[in-house]
Amino acid sequence: MELLSIGKFAKKVGVTTATLRRMQETGELLPEHITQGGTRYYSTDQLKLFTKKESKERIIVGYCRVSTPSQKDDLENQVQNLKTYMIARGYSFEIITDIGSGINYKKKGLKELIEKINNREVSKVVILYKDRLIRFGYELIEYFCELNGAEIEIIDHDEKSKEEELRDDLIQIITVFANRLYGQRSRKTKKLIDVVKNNVKNEKDSIETDS
């Protein structure tokens, strides 16, 4: 029986060595042999079983998001674009949709996606634009995918975020920090948020007038 080092085994199955160590800790996959010095080795039989299990169970997920319910038409367009793209490539997939700010990490769809990735059910996440997944912290989620043997595929790398969404995210960021700084019911909090909303509205009206 041939033994593979943890590095070679990780490369062949498409995960990181950190993932294999975590799987050992959870009992999900134990090395075939561990030397006295702590070097881990895996067998070719484990490689076959792992590869067979991964190819059978993993799925491709298309993730679509908009900020508000008023953008449902945009959400439907995203879904259609993703479906067209993935069907053309012969992907077997499912779609997860979300309605919520790009800085809201508690959205139902995003949590479902993270759970699937964490359970190693996902081989690939397909998104239309980078910020459709999350506005800030994309690299962290990308690394999380890497640790769990998944990848992120971006269809269009040109950022095409709508100004309205950026304004909504800005207001939410200021609201969160104002609540922490002054308290949710503080007059200062309400005043600061009102000032930001008014400035955003005035800027929007100015842009529309100029156009």
> Which helix (DSSP H) or strand (DSSP E) does residue 83 occupy?
helix 72-88
Q: Exactly one of 5, 43, 55, 67 is catalytic; which is it?
A: 67
DSSP 1-49: --EEEHHHHHHHHT--HHHHHHHHHHTSS--SEE-TT--EEEEHHHHHH
* Active-site residue flag, 92: no
Per-residue CA distances from 64 to 10, 88, 113, 151 (Å): 31, 18, 11, 16
For the chain, the straight-line distance linking the first and the last C-alpha, in angstroms and rounded, comes to: 72
Residue 161 CB partners (closer than 8 Å, separation 6+): 129, 131
What token pair was written down for 31?
Answer: 């090395």
Closest CA to 127 of 198, 62, 59: 62
SS (H, E, C) 97-148: EEECCCCCCCCHHHHHHHHHHHCCCEEEEEECCHHHHCCCCHHHHHHHHHHC
Active site residues: 67
